[in-house]
Amino acid sequence: MSKIIGIDLGTTNSCVSVMEGGKPVVIENAEGFRTTPSIVAFGKDGERLVGHVAKRQAITNPEKTIYSIKRFMGRRQHECTDAERNMPYELVGGSDELVRVKIDDKEYAPPEISAMTLQAMKKVAEDHLGHEVNQAVITVPAYFNDAQRQATQDAGTIAGLEVLRIVNEPTAAALAYGLESKKNEKIAVYDLGGGTFDISILEIGDGVFEVKATNGDTMLGGDNFDEVIIDWINEEFRKDNPGIDLKQDKMALQRLKDAAEKAKIDLSATATTNINLPFITADASGPKHLDLTLTKAKFDQLTSHLVEATLEPCRKCLSDAGMEASEIDQVILVGGSIRIPAIQEAVKNFFGRDPHKGVNPDEVVAIGAAVQGGVLAGDSSVKDVLLLDVTPLSLGIETLGGVMTNLIERNTTVPTRKSQVFSTAEDNQSAVTIHVLQGEREFARDNRTLGRFDLTGIPAKPRGLPQIEVTFDIDANGIVHVSAKDKETGKEQSVKIQSSSGLAEEEIDQMIKEAEANAEADKKQRELVEIKNQAEQLIYQAEKSIEELGDQAPAELKSKIQDPIEELKKVKDSDNKDEIQAAMDKVQAVLGEIAQAAQAAQGAADPGQAQPETPNEAPSDDSDKDDGAVDADYEVVDDD
């Protein structure tokens, strides 16, 4: 039976896990790492690179290396900050349009880029399990809105995965923690990743994981700490080099990003770090070098506002849960950015207790996703686990005066369904537009539009008399379905809010085809590389064998193999796999003839040498011993 894998699709890194023998197992990638950078790059001739190999070439290929794409999932241009838009790669789209990435002449939607990372994680799992995988549980930040959740689901579909469940990252972490803990507790999960921040309060016990409240910021994460360091480096450099802005040079900006990330990591363990970037740029006076020292104290000062920005959502979350910080039994830290000492200290001071350090912050979310996958698959080891999550933001519609009227309040347990009756605003109104919103502001204009649809054919009546029942339905993935029904006629309009993800079904289908084509192209490319390597090895072995056989190989055969070897040398660098294989077959055929001739020649020579050493032995015994000697000598030749 095919396994259901759990994938933590992170801003900076991704991780995949699966249930094996009743326990979740984190799977290593081909390079031996348990996490894979969420980075996609396009090399020469459109070659697609994912993960560590993409990260390694980022400095020399900044405009075609895409990182932190998760920050743009389901978001429109005007929703992004200037800092977010200042990427080495090109972002396109009008103010009200969803963000897209332009590489050469082709535009990619963020779900399409994320799908490439998901495809890589899918392959990691398949290589480990030895069979195809097509079902997954994928995690998202708890504070992701409907558009961002649908974009994630679209990414899974494009990658060839049936996304059985979208799980909030803090909830997944709680699942992983609670599976080991086995206690009845109230826990807080503080999740600061590369691009997002979440805080969730849960009650866990007897296999039930109930989220009481969640809050967060989808534009706050480790990237923001990097940006602060980048700005500081740039300003320090400009003090000595006025007029030079390193952030305007894409290659220099990529080097600054790498240096900032390294400095941030260093300062989690040391008091100072050196930032040394020779030949960072050049002007008329010659090359410029950058050499700075950043102290932990200065870093803490520069980023104090970011640390404080994580605490306000914590206050709101506790308030929504109806709890005090002192009531929390355990605080779980999740995400790579929690390694920053100032973060750990702030969390300790806020909750009044040392955070729990018994989970791996980089892997715990994927582990929780695998546990949920086990639940969905009916795994007996987790059959008693029940997950009760919540919707992070209120949902409603626009009503008279531009007001947002909520139907489902934030932190309502999902799945859920809620209906409310509305009426017309004008006499004889025959149609109404249902404007679906998500957010916490009073007025529709300040909240996020999930979509609009029309209900027509309403009987002509004075305003206020028609009864229109609007129903909101949120599934277990947190994705919204809305319907409107005229109670008199029974006429109904029902939609899954698709416009918010920005990808039409036809567009997703096209992306799936392209993803499959790319996967096939990647497979063919791997096969071509492998056969080229085999050809190189065969040429080496053939020439070495001929040299070592010396006079044992007949001269006519040694001459006969030269042409096939030369032919193989000519075609081994071509892109025609069949042509290379045919040339290899010719070399191997003549090599076989040479080996047989050498064996025969050696077999004829050895019996004569053996006679003087064993003159008194019976012929049958001599024959046996000679055969053994020939076999041993032949084995050595064959190995060479």
* DSSP at 560: H
Residue 499 in tokens: 């416009």
Residue 479 in tokens: 């994705």
The number of C-alpha atoms within 13 Å of 21 and in the hemisphere containing its C-beta is 2
- Active site includes 70? yes
- Catalytic member of 8, 223, 389, 626: 8
SS3 79: helix
- Burial letters 178-204, b for 16+ CB under 10 A, else e: bbebeeebbbbbbbbbbbbbbbbbbbb
Distance (Å, whole) CA 619 – CA 201: 90
Give the count of beta carbons closer than 10 Å to the beta carbon of residue 350.
18
Q: What is the sign of the dihedral through the CA atoms of 524, 529, 530 and 532?
A: positive
In which element (H, E) is residue 473 found? strand 468-474
The answer to whether 18 and 373 are in contact (CB under 8 A) is yes
Residue 361 carries which side chain, given as an amino acid letter? P
Whose CA is closest to 327, among 188, 199, 198? Answer: 188
Give the count of beta carbons closer than 10 Å to the beta carbon of residue 459.
12
Distance (Å, whole) CA 488 – CA 79: 41
The dihedrals phi and psi of 442, each to the nearest 5 degrees, come to -75, -35
Map 239-262 to HEC letters.
Answer: HHCCCCCHHHCHHHHHHHHHHHHH
DSSP string, 591-633: HHHHHHHHHHHHHHHHHHHHTTTSTTS-HHHHHHHHHHHHHHH
Distance (Å, whole) CA 468 – CA 482: 13
- Active site includes 191? yes
- Active site includes 8? yes
- Catalytic member of 3, 55, 64, 70: 70
- Catalytic member of 84, 112, 169, 398: 169
- Active site includes 82? no
Residue 106 in tokens: 């082709």
SS3 399: strand
The number of C-alpha atoms within 13 Å of 452 and in the hemisphere containing its C-beta is 10
C-alpha distances in angstroms, 115 versus 138, 284, 315, 400, 487? 12, 44, 35, 41, 43
Q: Please, which residues bridge with residue 421 across strands?
A: 469
Q: What is the sign of the dihedral through the CA atoms of 79, 85, 89 and 91?
A: positive
- Catalytic member of 112, 154, 191, 217: 191
Catalytic site residues? 8, 70, 169, 191
